[in-house]
């Protein structure tokens, strides 16, 4: 058994390789040593259209090798019996939930803080979030034992109501117990069963469960958590945008892109759907102290993030005709100064941070559109082509001195390239090269997208957390590319998947799930992995989600 467990990774990989029709080998989290927590994902684990029961098998929470070995046996049985299970039961697995086995991870749920940088138990945070947002219909925990025991959490009672030998799972704080009550992560309960049994009884006990599931129509045994995600996903683009517009784009203190995007999003939404109240007067009142000079717009040395806080001004100019808003864009663009050689133009970071790709693309592009002055496009294109931070694999380092593939960093790059292409003339000599950089990036990040639709916090580290802002930014870049003809239809599945993930992670009050906090240049890969994740209200995440929803609506109206 010890020898077989030492080959755990190869065994799991073999299951995925032998049954590619069933499973994809993935990771659901990381240990502090960057060791992935392996998972085997059924192809329908996140499908919006699957009618079957989604089951998540989990084992090894205590670190027990025997539990993990029993879970592998379950998967072998499923692999050989998949024809009978058919499309009615889709089984995913986390068979080795506690790779370090330093402490028991079975209890003290839900974790309240430290997402995903807890000093002692980050695995618990990864597992909790992963399970809640996969939202299976049933979590089946497997434990090795000498006697057969079935235990059920409160949400699973209806599934096994006819069984006389099922015990209540009375372990406050255990993973299964907490999943089965209330609204975990604001979603809904997830039924859970724990099977403890010896090897010899495994096949017969699983047969009991499969039969119970087969006799329970999916529509009647669908987890409340999954139903919540179904409801969120069913909202239209405009409905999601309206939710976000009620929460974001109502302040500008300080002047920063994190709030400026929300203001722009409200104006864009009203252009698409003028049936509701216009936000123009409200936004005019909000920005007037800055525009009139009553309140200082910037500090003495504003950075790109501050300058990008005015990207709404061209839209407000279009709505009002007030030339002061046009002049704001031009003033910002004039702050970008040509640099010698292949240096970055001030005020861009001299290390060519990807954030500046977005800020410069947004502001210089708008200035060109408003004035026709080619100084702005010339400066912008030179900056993008001189950066040299896109690697042979297509992804971007955060900057020249930070050789890490940060998710939002690549989102900034994708969005900056999309902004540039939006305004760059078709006959500009640098356009084709910019277009190639943009496509190369989107092709590269496609391979990192999780089945949930989300993109990782660090793109080349499977198991790093599913980050909200990177997904919105990649989604905007994809949607605009499809709408304006830079991308072909092959890119649409990635876009639709990204929207699914973002829509599911946006509640009715505009709260979002796991947006990386403000992040400067970090000194190590671990520091990027350890950046805290915001669950709740977040201007940066909400504004980008609003832009994404609006871009999806625009794309849907394009013939």
**Would you say residue 1 has pLDDT above 80?**
no
Find the mean pLDDT for residues 223-246: 97
Find the mean pLDDT for residues 63-71: 96
Q: Using an 8 Å Cβ cutoff, are 408 and 516 in contact?
A: yes
CA pair distance 233, 454, nearest whole angstrom? 14
Buried b or exposed e, range 55-94, using 16+ CB within 10 angstroms: bbbbbbbbbbbbbbbbbbbbbebbbeebeebeebbbbbbb
Nearest to 65 by CA among 132, 135, 28, 11: 11
Q: Using an 8 Å Cβ cutoff, are 192 and 139 in contact?
A: yes
> Hey, what domains does the chain have and what are their CATH numbers?
2-233 (3.40.630.10), 235-556 (1.50.10.10)
Query: Mean of the per-residue pLDDT values for the chain?
Result: 95
Q: What was the pLDDT predicted at 48? A: 86
Find the mean pLDDT for residues 431-455: 98
Q: By CB neighbour count within 10 A (0-12 exposed, 13-18 middle, 19+ buried), where does 274 fall?
A: exposed
Q: How many residues does the chain have?
A: 559
Of 176-185, 219-228, 265-274, the range with the lowest mean pLDDT is 219-228
Residue 79 CB contacts under 8 Å (≥ 6 apart), including other chains: 15, 18, 19, 22
Higher pLDDT, 210 or 218: 210
Per-residue pLDDT band for 52 (boundaries 50, 70, 90) equals confident
**Would you say residue 305 has pLDDT above 70?**
yes
Label the pairing between strands 455-456 and 466-467. Answer: antiparallel
Q: What was the pLDDT predicted at 245? A: 98
**Would you say residue 100 has pLDDT above 80?**
yes
Higher pLDDT, 216 or 227: 227
At 502-554, the pLDDT tens digits run 999 999 999 999 999 999 999 999 999 999 999 999 999 999 999 999 999 99
DSSP secondary structure, 42-55, as one string: ETTTT-SS--SEEE
Cis peptide before 254 (omega within 30 of 0): yes
Find the mean pLDDT for residues 49-66: 94
CA pair distance 321, 445, nearest whole angstrom? 40
Find the mean pLDDT for residues 196-207: 96
CA pair distance 74, 12, nearest whole angstrom? 12
Nearest to 494 by CA among 485, 481, 510: 481
Question: Per DSSP, what are the bridge partners of residue 41?
Answer: 24
DSSP 151: E
Find the mean pLDDT for residues 74-93: 87
CA pair distance 335, 528, nearest whole angstrom? 31
At 495-510, the pLDDT tens digits run 999 999 999 999 999 9
CA pair distance 128, 296, nearest whole angstrom? 45
CA pair distance 371, 355, nearest whole angstrom? 24
Q: What was the pLDDT predicted at 221? A: 79
Question: Per DSSP, what are the bridge partners of residue 396?
Answer: 390
Q: What was the pLDDT predicted at 219? A: 60
Per-residue pLDDT band for 434 (boundaries 50, 70, 90) equals very high
Does residue 360 sit in helix, strand or coil? helix
Q: What was the pLDDT predicted at 419? A: 98
At 359-378, the pLDDT tens digits run 999 999 999 999 999 999 99
Find the mean pLDDT for residues 20-45: 96
**Would you say residue 220 has pLDDT above 90?**
no
Per-residue pLDDT band for 167 (boundaries 50, 70, 90) equals very high
DSSP secondary structure, 3-24, as one string: HHHHTHHHHHHHHHHH-TTTEE
Find the mean pLDDT for residues 294-311: 95
Its pTM stands at 0.97
Of 215-224, 395-404, 429-438, the range with the lowest mean pLDDT is 215-224
Per-residue pLDDT band for 285 (boundaries 50, 70, 90) equals very high
**Would you say residue 2 has pLDDT above 70?**
no
Residue 49 CB contacts under 8 Å (≥ 6 apart), including other chains: none
Q: What angle is formed at CA 477 by the lines to CA 325 and CA 320, rounded to 5 degrees?
A: 20
**Would you say residue 395 has pLDDT above 80?**
yes
CA pair distance 442, 446, nearest whole angstrom? 6
**Would you say residue 277 has pLDDT above 80?**
yes
Nearest to 209 by CA among 225, 197, 227: 197
Calculate what percentage of the chain has a pLDDT beyond 90: 91
Question: Per DSSP, what are the bridge partners of residue 513?
Answer: 535
Q: By CB neighbour count within 10 A (0-12 exposed, 13-18 middle, 19+ buried), where does 284 fall?
A: middle
DSSP 121: -
Find the mean pLDDT for residues 246-253: 97
Residue 313 CB contacts under 8 Å (≥ 6 apart), including other chains: 325, 326, 328, 329, 366
CA pair distance 94, 131, nearest whole angstrom? 10
CA pair distance 338, 504, nearest whole angstrom? 43
């Amino acid at each position: 058994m010890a020898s077989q467990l030492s080959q755990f990774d190869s065994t799991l990989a073999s299951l995925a390789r032998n049954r590619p029709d069933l499973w994809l080998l993935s990771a659901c989290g990381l240990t502090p040593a960057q060791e992935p927590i392996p998972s085997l994902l059924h192809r329908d684990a996140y499908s919006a259209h699957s009618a079957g029961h989604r089951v998540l098998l989990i084992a090894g929470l205590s670190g027990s090798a025997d539990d993990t070995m029993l879970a592998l046996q379950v998967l072998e049985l499923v692999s050989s019996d998949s024809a009978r299970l058919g499309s009615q039961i889709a089984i995913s697995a986390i068979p080795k939930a506690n790779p370090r086995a330093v402490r028991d991870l079975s209890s003290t749920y839900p974790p309240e803080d430290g997402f995903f940088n807890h000093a002692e138990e980050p695995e618990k945070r990864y597992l909790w979030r992963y399970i809640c947002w996969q939202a299976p219909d049933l979590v089946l925990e497997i434990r090795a034992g000498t006697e057969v025991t079935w235990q059920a959490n409160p949400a699973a009672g209806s599934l096994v109501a006819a069984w006389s030998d099922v015990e209540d799972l009375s372990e406050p704080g255990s993973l299964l117990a907490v999943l089965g009550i209330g609204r975990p992560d604001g979603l809904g309960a997830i039924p859970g069963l724990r099977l403890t049994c010896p090897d010899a009884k495994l096949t017969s006990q699983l047969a009991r469960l499969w039969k119970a599931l087969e006799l329970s129509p999916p529509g009647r045994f669908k987890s409340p958590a999954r139903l919540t995600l179904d409801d969120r996903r069913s909202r239209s683009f405009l409905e999601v945008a309206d939710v976000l517009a009620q929460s974001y784009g109502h302040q500008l203190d300080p002047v920063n892109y994190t709030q400026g995007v929300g203001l722009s999003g409200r104006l864009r939404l009203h252009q698409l759907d003028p049936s509701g109240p216009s936000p123009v007067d409200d936004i005019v009142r909000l920005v007037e102290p800055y525009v009139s000079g009553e309140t200082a717009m910037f500090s003495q040395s504003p950075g790109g993030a501050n300058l990008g806080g005015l990207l709404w001004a061209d839209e407000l100019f279009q709505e009002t005709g007030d030339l002061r808003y046009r002049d704001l864009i031009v003033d910002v663009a004039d702050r970008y100064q040509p640099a010698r050689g292949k240096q970055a133009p001030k005020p861009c970071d001299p290390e060519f941070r990807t954030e500046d790709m977005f800020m410069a693309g947004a502001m210089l592009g708008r200035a060109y559109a408003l004035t026709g002055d080619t100084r702005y496009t010339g400066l912008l294109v030179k900056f993008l082509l001189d950066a040299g931070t896109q690697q042979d694999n297509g992804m971007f380092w955060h900057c020249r001195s930070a050789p890490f593939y940060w998710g939002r960093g690549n989102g900034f790059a994708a969005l900056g390239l999309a902004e540039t292409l939006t305004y760059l003339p078709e006959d500009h000599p640098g356009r084709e090269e910019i277009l190639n950089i943009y496509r190369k990036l989107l092709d590269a990040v496609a391979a990192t997208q999780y089945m949930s639709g989300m993109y990782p916090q660090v793109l080349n580290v499977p198991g790093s957390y599913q980050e909200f802002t990177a997904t919105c930014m990649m989604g905007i870049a994809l949607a605009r590319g499809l709408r304006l003809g830079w991308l072909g239809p092959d890119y649409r599945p990635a876009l639709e998947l990204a929207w699914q993930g973002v829509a599911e992670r946006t509640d009715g009050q505009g709260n979002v799930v796991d947006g990386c906090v403000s992040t400067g240049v970090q000194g190590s890969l671990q520091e990027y992995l350890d950046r805290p994740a915001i669950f709740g209200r977040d201007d940066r995440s909400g504004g980008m989600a609003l832009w994404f929803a609006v871009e999806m609506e625009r794309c849907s109206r394009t013939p």
